[in-house]
A and B are shown apart, each in its own frame.
Chain A
């Protein structure tokens, strides 16, 4: 990974509409702040290299370096990334219940990790009205409050940076794939700071094909409905092709084709559907609203899944082969589309000395992704 500073971050990410508003550059210093789903630089910073740039998942992402650090091999061509197992899962009887998005696997695992002190706090995404708001949860009830997906991109990692500043050193994090990338880069200690300690205890990635631009979504909804009346928003798993908006007296359906217009450009460059650099990744199950797909990637992840199962927090079953096939196909599609777009924009493996490259990846894998 090459190191740059805030100037390049603004030039190459924010001005290029590549910023997804993940929050990784927020709260490191006074300069980057997120508001209304948009990350802004308030005042210029003069440093040539900084953490803001190093953590950002939308520039100078060296996939091989990250792979080597987490999985001890270069970035490979499995569309789901490196993993130890893939199962079907749901929250077990010991886990507290909430308005889970699907099987409640994420909330159950975080509860387990917190209650058994594997982590000292959890970085999650709550909401205020329709606005996703990052929080630090230090009690199980706060984890349950954050259950269910907010479909807009969220500055979740702003809360991570704040928690680190406040002295938390062993954090659980629930993050989308882009956020998971940022966390993986943070863990590399890219600026080689002497005082650095890996602040993570457990990284749970959630699958994502796209998130919505908060500002655009807010405008979309406010033109159609009184925002104050919204109780819940859901996208039921395929084959349903709708977004459901629940109010006290009605459920309104918007076709996904309309909703997809509100996806920011940044998502179309995203190569990762299953949060490949997590400890554990969780998604929905096609056709089963009560279950999750669970990918276990690291030793740490495996240990926690095993313990959570024996402690009754998590229930596992096998994943049918056709589901796995379909998942790979979907992930591969996303990756191929994103690489094609990024290569078209000439932001993959750009030569050193010409400024930052969006992605760096070994040629063998890149060729396979291209289908060559």
Chain B
């Protein structure tokens, strides 16, 4: 992450990631408070704020979860400050309860909800959309189409939020957040803001009254005015400088697009060399749509092609306006998701847009010879080894799942693990010994397990376990554990405590002794919390395979109520373990049983640490000392004692 973000030389250009551009935009808007919960592809935003927080008098935090992050940012807005909260698409689901209330109470200081969606689910369990929330809770939605715009639109959004006195949603996507482009900087304002929460004025007075989402059903008092705000936004959008049209006055085909798809469309049109046949309407204000602007542009062409990722959100909203203005704009042929020209699942790319355009415009275009494509596919199959998704070398989760798998198998009652979100989603795959049998949202493993545990009266005899990471525990698993303890649901919660929010890059969480700005923080003790909640708590080191497995078997047989096993071992990539080997590990070839009866390659065939490789010629295993993290766990699984570990002095 660069420190260029707070460069105060107006007009200078820097190469910034989309996420950094958003941060710069917020700085230029004079932001005071930023809160979020880590989640790819959004995490760099809070991290960037934390680096310049002191200099720019900003308060930044990693909140316990997305809902709390939104509440923290809203408090700043209520006190007259500018703020934003940031999260990935799934986080908006978590925050959505508060979001609906906040959208109806409105905001004071400019406030943004920045969501980074992940079309194609590159780093997510699903590609759920956040755009629809803007429509659902009736707030404006902005989507930057390039990196400069990511900065400028963010700054513009703060003004918009203050003009309409409501939250504004800015949506980025992975290819916008994580790609980089040149951004020309504006100036930075002074950083002395004063916070005061005013509440003495009349109820529903946006400036001076208490900020409440109405307690009684009085839609005319609050819901009506909220909708007026949205209408005002639509009006402002009519002249928004970030909605642009490029192309002939009356093109054969009007392409309407937004966000990262703008880049794909530009590239496709350029490659096909059809600048004179198509026009591109790029929208930054995708909800509510400015009706006149849309109408004007619809009149340009009889054929309209909407390019967007995942659901046909923009497409459907455009179609509504087209239907309403059909008398003036005429009958259109629409291309997009409903016509099947663009898929509704997965990421887009220039190739997909090209192939759609060639069909719509009957263009003969072959980017590569079909035979070439076949040849490369064939070569890739023979030359690139197939790689399974697995945990890193030395990862504590591998050891944990090894023990969990074995404990369940030995127990013999067909027990299962309810999983949840984190690196340990790999527990569903062979790399985690296919141990995890349910996988949904954060904390839901514990909730499901609490439910399964109560099915004994219907004859379920299977032992129930759940896994959850330390960050997830605070985020969403605590209510589920509370439920289980209260209702005496007999399940075992395995807390995979690797001391950090590992999957997204070691952000601190409530169990950490410092916060994102580097200040000391109150570290909450998971063990003490679980004990205080009334659970039976045990602790083990997952690298001690026997102890962990025995403890699990014991807890599975111990029937009373909810039990917690904290498996404590730092992540292999954590600052404390990274690059520091505990053991020098090697294989004694003369002892290795290899493929013979007695082993059948347990280490490379089943255990699967990438640090161990199979020598196909000598038929023995060996340690790749560059990859091996020196955890020494494989030495304990080898049936022959062929894998040997020596403590590094």
Contact = CB atoms under 8 A, between A and B. Distances in A.
Interface of A: 28-31, 33, 35-36, 38, 40-43, 45-47, 49-51, 191
Given A46-B600, A191-B597, A29 B606 contact: no
26 contacts: A28-B598, A29-B599, A29-B602, A29-B639, A30-B602, A30-B637, A30-B639, A31-B600, A33-B406, A33-B410, A35-B411, A35-B412, A36-B410, A40-B410, A40-B412, A41-B409, A42-B406, A43-B602, A43-B606, A45-B600, A47-B597, A47-B600, A49-B597, A50-B597, A51-B597, A51-B598
B462 to A, nearest CB: 15
Nearest to B550: A35
B553 interface: yes
Given A42-B405, A42-B406, A43-B606, A36 B412 contact: yes
Contacts of B602: 29-30, 43
Most buried by A among B409, B433, B600: B600
Interface of B: 405-406, 409-412, 433, 553, 595-600, 602, 605-606, 637, 639
Given A42-B406, A43-B606, A47-B597, 15 more contacts: A29-B599, A30-B599, A30-B637, A30-B639, A35-B553, A36-B411, A40-B409, A41-B409, A43-B433, A47-B595, A47-B600, A49-B597, A50-B597, A51-B598, A191-B597
A333 B606 CA distance: 47
A232 to B, nearest CB: 24
Nearest to A41: B409
A36 B550 CA distance: 12
Contacts of A43: 433, 602, 606
A46 B600 CA distance: 7
A71 to B, nearest CB: 28
Q: Is the interface of A mostly helix, strand, loop or mixed?
A: loop
A51 B593 CA distance: 14
A29 B597 contact: yes
Contacts of A47: 595-597, 600
Contacts of A45: 600
A29 B600 contact: yes
Given A30-B637, A42-B405, A43-B606, A35 B410 contact: yes
B367 to A, nearest CB: 43
Contacts of B637: 30
Nearest to A38: B412
B80 to A, nearest CB: 62
A56 to B, nearest CB: 14
B601 to A, nearest CB: 9
Nearest to A52: B597
A41 B409 CA distance: 8
B333 to A, nearest CB: 56
A38 B411 CA distance: 9
A50 B598 CA distance: 8
Contacts of A33: 406, 409-410
B567 to A, nearest CB: 19
Most buried by A among B595, B597, B600, B639: B597
A49 B595 CA distance: 12
Contacts of B598: 28-29, 51
Contacts of B412: 35-36, 38, 40
Q: Which 6 A-B pairs have the closest CB atoms?
A: A35-B410, A50-B597, A45-B600, A30-B639, A43-B606, A29-B598
A166 to B, nearest CB: 11
A42 B410 CA distance: 7
Nearest to B601: A46
Nearest to B553: A35
A28 B597 contact: yes
Most buried by A among B411, B412, B596, B598: B598
Contacts of A35: 410-412, 553
A40 B405 CA distance: 12
A48 to B, nearest CB: 10
Contacts of A46: 600, 605
Contacts of A41: 409
Nearest to A46: B600
A115 B598 CA distance: 33
B192 to A, nearest CB: 64
Contacts of B596: 47
Contacts of A50: 597
Contacts of B409: 33, 40-42
Contacts of A30: 599, 602, 637, 639
A348 B639 CA distance: 35
Contacts of B606: 43
Nearest to B600: A45
A33 B639 CA distance: 13
A188 to B, nearest CB: 15
Nearest to B406: A42
Contacts of A38: 410, 412
A158 B85 CA distance: 59
A35 B637 CA distance: 18
Contacts of B595: 47
B639 to A, nearest CB: 5
A176 to B, nearest CB: 22
Nearest to B410: A35
A42 to B, nearest CB: 5
A51 B639 CA distance: 15
A147 B482 CA distance: 49
A45 B601 CA distance: 9
A41 B405 CA distance: 11
A150 B405 CA distance: 30
Contacts of B605: 46
Nearest to B639: A30
A46 B605 CA distance: 10
Contacts of B553: 35
A37 to B, nearest CB: 9
A115 B336 CA distance: 89
A41 B595 CA distance: 18
Contacts of B405: 42
Contacts of A51: 597-598
A31 B87 CA distance: 44
Nearest to A33: B410
Nearest to B596: A47
A113 to B, nearest CB: 29
B169 to A, nearest CB: 48
A41 B596 CA distance: 17
A82 B412 CA distance: 39
Contacts of A29: 597-600, 602, 639
Contacts of A40: 409-410, 412
A262 to B, nearest CB: 17
A277 B600 CA distance: 31
